[in-house]
Amino acid sequence: MIFYHKMLKSIKKMDFITPYIKNLQIDKSKFLEPSPIIQQRCQELIIDDKTTLKLMDLVLHEVNRGLSKKENKDADIKCYVTYIQDLPNGKERGKFLALDLGGTNFRVLIIHLKGENDFEMQSKIYAVPQNIMLGSGEQLFDHIAECLANFMREHNVYAERLPLGFTFSFPLLQLGLTKGLLVRWTKGFNCEGVVGEDVVQLLKDAIARRGDVQIDVCAILNDTTGTLMSCAWKNHNCKIGLIVGTGSNACYVEKIKNVENWDGPPSDKTHVLINTEWGAFGDNGVLDFIRTEYDREIDENSINRGKQIQEKMISGMYMGELARLVIYKFTKEGLLFNGVDSESLRKRFLFFTKYVSEIESDKPGNYTNCMQVMDELGLTNVTEQDCANVRYICECVSSRAAHLVSAGIAALINKMDEPSVTVGVDGSVYRFHPKFHDLMMKRIRQFVKPEISFDLMLSEDGSGRGAALVAAVACREEGRV
């Protein structure tokens, strides 16, 4: 805390009226500036240095509450114990299956680990139809079991009994490495009869109902944990996992002595992986001071109203819709497109998040992608000034997301207080947005203690390979490989 207060004291001497266009590192000489009224109206989307420090304090406070036995119940950042205490060391060997469920598609993988950085992997993507996403839990897990059986048959391991890691990227209360209770559905899922149940047992039950394949579920984890494990296999300095995609979450390595809510058997290990589930940060109202009318509208029209507040300000599931709401409002007020909208612009979620990345990928002075997006939305008579304004709106929305994420990561790095930390990152927003990585690097460096070095490492198939690696490490610790 002393570090934060010292930094705040020095930042108070700075001039906060610096135009945000400078903060975004835009070379104003190369293309049209956004109009002054657009810049003014977008100010509420800007997270300045003082706000970043406040966010870091709030994150740290909620993380400590989540780790507390007494306060965990009321904490927004739950800090679930994963019971993963060992990271990959490169000596893992053997064949492992992995299931990866976390969105409208899920994957089945088979991975053959042959040594450090040497592996073979095959996978297949299966759809999760809308009726199953909103149906019963039995339907969901029967569908997963059927796809798993088909995959094993196709890859000639139908008769083998293989260890399996299960990536289940929804909030889980873990009671052990192979037992996790679903806390709530997110990402558009709402299957009946699963909340409060052990999802590993539901998977086992579905496989037993089939009676044609055998597996050993060695671990349940989420995609954030998988990302950390996958990166740690290549870079043993990786101690934080981050997802910025359809959803957003982070996990990190914490000292056992700080984990009051540890509910497992006594351990002689010194650290454990903590799944923060920080997407729910702000559910108690602490982020209301930076939420806008656009954030509130998204929340009001969501299936989980009042929940996952930070995630709705960051993730790819909502970023395009946030931009659309701003653009649509400004159009109705005559600030864009001469006040003429289109049917597509009026419809929710038709301004895709990929549009934000495409628009920001245009080179300075070029509006080719922006014009194409506007055409796809049925907007006509779009001027270059409109494009400059739309790009600025997109930059404000995406930069706010990057700065929110960066505040949380900087707070975790400072809390860990290690000399050097690598952050493994996955997710479509981080992977495909042209500026997200650079925005994060700059903002984290600004707020991490100067003596700490850090890096951001793009995960390669973390949620899939990471699940297999958790299973492999579990088998290694049991002496099975």
**CA torsion angle for 415, 255, 477, 169 (degrees, to 10)?**
-50
pLDDT at 2: 46
Catalytic residues: 187, 223
The per-residue pLDDT for range 266-280, each reduced to its tens digit, is 778 899 999 999 999
The per-residue pLDDT for range 316-367, each reduced to its tens digit, is 999 999 999 999 999 999 999 999 999 999 999 999 999 999 999 999 999 9
For every residue of 86-154, DSSP letters joined together read ----S---EEEEEEEESSSEEEEEEEEEEETTEEEEEEEEEE--HHHHTSBHHHHHHHHHHHHHHHHHH
Residue with tokens 């299973």: 471
Which of 3.30.70.100, 3.30.420.40, 3.20.20.10, 3.40.50.1970 would CATH assign to domain 85-231+461-477?
3.30.420.40
The per-residue pLDDT for range 412-462, each reduced to its tens digit, is 999 999 999 999 999 999 999 999 999 999 999 999 999 999 999 999 777
Contact predicate 134/190, CB 8 Å: yes
CATH of domain 2-68+282-457: 3.40.367.20
Structural domain spans, the chain: 2-68+282-457, 85-231+461-477
The per-residue pLDDT for range 455-472, each reduced to its tens digit, is 999 997 777 788 888 888
Whole-model pTM? 0.87
